[in-house]
Chain A
Amino acid sequence: MRTVLRRSLGLAWVLPALVLVGVFVYLPLAQNFGFSTLEWDIYSGAQQYVGLDNYRKLVDDPVFWGSFGNNVLYAVLSIVFQVFGALLLAVLIESVRGERWRRALRAVYFVPSAISLTVAGLLFYFVYEPNLGLLNNALEAAGLGGLAQPWLGQESTAMHAVIAMSQWQGFGYSTLLFAVAIQRIPGEIYGAAAIDGAGPVRRLIHVTIPLVREMTGLMTVVTISGAFQVFNEVMVMTSGGPDNSTQVLGTWLYRSGFVRNDFGYAAAIATVIFVVTLALALAQLWVARRRKVDW
């Protein structure tokens, strides 16, 4: 009996963490499912049970599907640049002679990831600005003035412009992580490959890429998950406009709940984000648990 008591006393160490996570992370998550079945005006407090109506509304809502499509586009382009692009860049950096140069390059590329998405987003709002912005002025200086356009102000380019900013902000982060993974590959393996007569390209394909595949898998999952949680940069640069063309699930949730005062519908969008991100988190666990790369 005394040992049971003593052992339970040890729970005091984990209690603060459990309470915080339980009350502010798990409880709202559970409540969200309930809220998604309500027609709910948060200001008047009026609530009415409507079953799956909010989900039906979701299926018929073109802006929801547009947002979902934008999240998918975000994920695809981020995988191209922040996973595969970053992997190749990390290989290039690690092939530079002199640790001093390698460290400087990694650090400089990372700086945009240290500043907030709000600052980066605002900065690119100005870079894309049609009159005083860097981009149009640079195009004109290069004699390509015909390409100048209101990047964020028209549906055809706005989403790509936002995603491009996000690649600028985030590629240094994934490059850094790939560089760490490459550094963990023992030098003897490259030495052996060089003795076998493998050139740089063959070393890349047969040594580096297979040996960092665990990191590649994790980065892919983390990147997709991040793409479905995008909010900050869209909010700062376009607020979802023009004409909802840059709306993503996060901003559409915000707009539905906090601007259009339709909280039940916002909760239904949250459920979609939950399902997607949970599936990806489980995929991440699966990748991480798989047998680690042996060397």
Chain B
Amino acid sequence: MTRVGFLGAIARVFMWAFLLALVVVVVYPLLWMVLNGFKSNAELFGDPFALPVDWSLDSYRKAWNRGVSDYLTTSVLVTVTSTVATVLVSAWAAYGLTRVAIPLNKTITGLILGGLMLAPTVALVPLVKMFQAMGLYNSFWALLILYTAFRVPFTTFLIRAYMIDLPREVDEAAEVDGAGRWTAFWRIILPMCKPIIISTVMLHVLFAWNEYLFAMVFTSGSGVQTLPVGLMSLMSKHGTDFSVVFAGMVIAAAPVVLLFFLGQRYIVKGLADGIGK
């Protein structure tokens, strides 16, 4: 073996040792979380590295009955409705900005995409007052509206960048067929944008499912808590029943982890395009 080959082999061993150690650092706490959901509370205070003694589903059942089923329902509702609203509104805007001759195009593009620069925290105090005045504070509608309004800039940005590259001939062909704009959008342009639509749907689902600031401020005193807020209620109400909290965490995390593994390709593409391309 040559000297370089030998050094290379040693370097590779170290590299793999490091990469695998990092895998353990990432995976072990997650695994611990899942296992703790199967343990009894007494076991939790024993050896933290031990496996559950009888793999009881009790904690999952308790978590489900102590509110997690409600939180899950709210999360699903908010996520689905705000995803549909955000993607539709953004696709319409992207279509208007790229395929229709509208006045003040540059200004409008700047206004919509400029929303990307504003942090939700900054608008928090006025938004609370606004939603109180509208009678929507502590309601499902507050989350639907806010999740849509604050994600339209990012989603429009992604869809617009994709639509702008579709060839002009597409619109011309639609006109020859006598299709109006409305038909052309639904029948031709939107289907052609399928890859980026899937990306934006997935990124929005990840966002809406995990969002905490708005969910906490706008719904914590109500019956419409999403999972992140609900988990904190579970923690404060049953804070000594730790295995129930772990079970709740697993229920909250599982759907998005699954979504990521199913739609990895689209999520990666959306993220890569979204960072200033």
**Is the Cβ of A21 less than 8 Å from the Cβ of B112?**
yes
Q: For residue B253, which residues in chain A have a CB less than 8 angstroms away from its CB?
A: 115-116, 119
**Is the Cβ of B210 less than 8 Å from the Cβ of A118?**
yes
Nearest CB on B from A86, distance (A): 11
**Is the Cβ of B48 less than 8 Å from the Cβ of A278?**
no
**Is the Cβ of A24 less than 8 Å from the Cβ of B145?**
yes
Q: For residue B111, which residues in chain A have a CB less than 8 angstroms away from its CB?
A: 18, 21-22, 26
B176 interface contact, C-beta 8 A: no
Cα distance A35–B117 in the bound complex, in angstroms: 21
Q: Interface on chain B toward A: helix, strand, loop, or mixed SS?
A: helix
Cα distance A285–B217 in the bound complex, in angstroms: 31
Q: A10-B102, A115-B256, A253-B121 are in contact. Are A109 and B26 (CB under 8 A)?
A: yes
B74 interface contact, C-beta 8 A: no
**Is the Cβ of A122 less than 8 Å from the Cβ of B245?**
yes
**Is the Cβ of B156 less than 8 Å from the Cβ of A122?**
no
B192 interface contact, C-beta 8 A: no
Nearest CB on A from B141, distance (A): 12
Q: Which residue of B lies closest to A115 (CB)?
A: B253
* Contact stretch, chosen from A58-66, A72-80, A152-160, A170-178: A170-178
Total number of residue pairs linking A and B with CB closer than 8 Å: 262
A192 interface contact, C-beta 8 A: no
Nearest CB on B from A280, distance (A): 9
A112 interface contact, C-beta 8 A: yes
Mark each residue of chain B from 182 to 215: 1 if its CB lies under 8 Å from any CB of chain A, else 0. 0000000000000000000000001001111100
Binding site for A on B (CB under 8 A): 11, 15, 18-19, 22-23, 25-30, 32-33, 36, 44-45, 47-49, 89-90, 92-93, 95-97, 100-103, 108, 111-112, 115-130, 145-146, 148-150, 152-153, 156, 181, 206, 209-213, 216-217, 227-228, 231-232, 235, 242, 245-246, 249, 252-253, 256-257, 259-261, 264, 268, 271-272, 275-277
Can you list 23 pairs linking A and B with CB atoms under 8 Å apart? A11-B103, A13-B96, A14-B102, A14-B108, A17-B152, A20-B145, A21-B112, A21-B149, A24-B150, A28-B125, A29-B122, A31-B130, A105-B19, A114-B257, A116-B210, A118-B231, A123-B249, A141-B49, A176-B268, A176-B271, A232-B212, A250-B121, A254-B217
